Amino acid sequence: MHDYFDARFLERLRNLRILARRVARGGRRAEQRSLDLGSGIEFHDHRQYSPRDEFRAIDWNVYRRLGKVFVRLFEEQEDLPLYLLPDVSASMFVEDVPRARAGLRCALALAAISMNQHDRVAVFPCADGLLAPLRPVTGKNRLLDVASFLARLEPGGETDLRKALRAFSCLGLRPGLVALISDFFDPAGGEALAAALGRLRHRLLLVQLVRASDESPPFSGEVRFVDAESGDARDVTVDRAALLRYGAAYAAFQRALTACARSRGAPLLRLDVEQDEVAQLAALFESRKYLA
């Protein structure tokens, strides 16, 4: 197993239980309920019989007591498919603590939460498009299958979330919850990402992988920046004015991502890649501070 998923991490996932009702609108509901007739899981109520109802749903005990025809209503649990879209573009694997580490650990944690509630989980890695997926699995005993799949993922090409999302939206999958896990540093920009997300017919959860240096980069003087994916290099003089311009651009980027999440009614989780992922997820869900 990849060292991202050591024994201690896997053991902590067993204790990570997030109740469905703690996830606000637009987020994950581990146990969806719908009213149906027949032999459901749990009795809910009665209502008067109508011609479209099934004859077997009639409660004859009520008829004998009241002389009126009522049918039994039951609550049936329905699973909510979880589609994990971790960003595995090349830039996610650079830096001393690569963002891919936190992203893949977050993906496995979300899978553990979902599979604990008997939901189906599928993984669609994305880089410059969709990569080979892990088809839906379910059941607590299949979590190691998800971990093994995630552990085998290697750096992909350049970041193109728009292309990946467009390909995903064409798959015609059963409606569920899409968890897109990325730093969202896409050359196409925020508007293109928002347009691509707008075409998804699924519920949405955005997980942004951040670190303190994103907002306040520790550079000064003459610096050569090299794009981790394209290899393009640029020499820049990093002075106070440059840092102010960068700070304004980064703040605008964050506002655009927040606005994108709000426009879809989607939770936005910001995970510090240099801190404990499980603790952050538990605290975020418990406090609901993940809401954009």
**Facing residues of 92 across strands?**
none
* Predicted confidence (pLDDT) per residue in 204-227, tens digit: 999 999 999 999 999 999 999 988
pLDDT in 10s for each residue of the chain, 292 residues? 567 898 888 888 877 754 333 443 334 343 443 333 333 445 556 777 676 666 667 777 877 778 778 777 654 456 789 999 999 999 999 988 899 999 999 999 999 888 887 889 999 999 999 999 999 998 878 999 999 999 999 999 999 999 999 999 999 899 999 999 999 999 888 888 888 888 888 999 999 999 999 999 999 999 999 888 888 999 999 999 999 999 999 999 999 999 999 988 888 999 999 999 988 888 776 665 554 4
In angstroms, the CA 219 to CA 246 distance is 12
* Predicted confidence (pLDDT) per residue in 152-196, tens digit: 999 999 999 999 999 999 998 999 999 999 999 998 888 888 888
User: Position of tokens 């009520």?
Assistant: 62
Length of the chain: 292
pTM of the predicted model, to two decimals? 0.78
What does the pLDDT read at residue 77? 52
Q: Which structure tokens are listed for 208?
A: 């942004």
Neighbours of 27 (CB within 10 A): 22
In angstroms, the CA 246 to CA 153 distance is 32
What does the pLDDT read at residue 10? 87
Domains parsed from the chain with CATH numbers: 3-30+80-287 (3.40.50.410), 33-78 (no CATH)
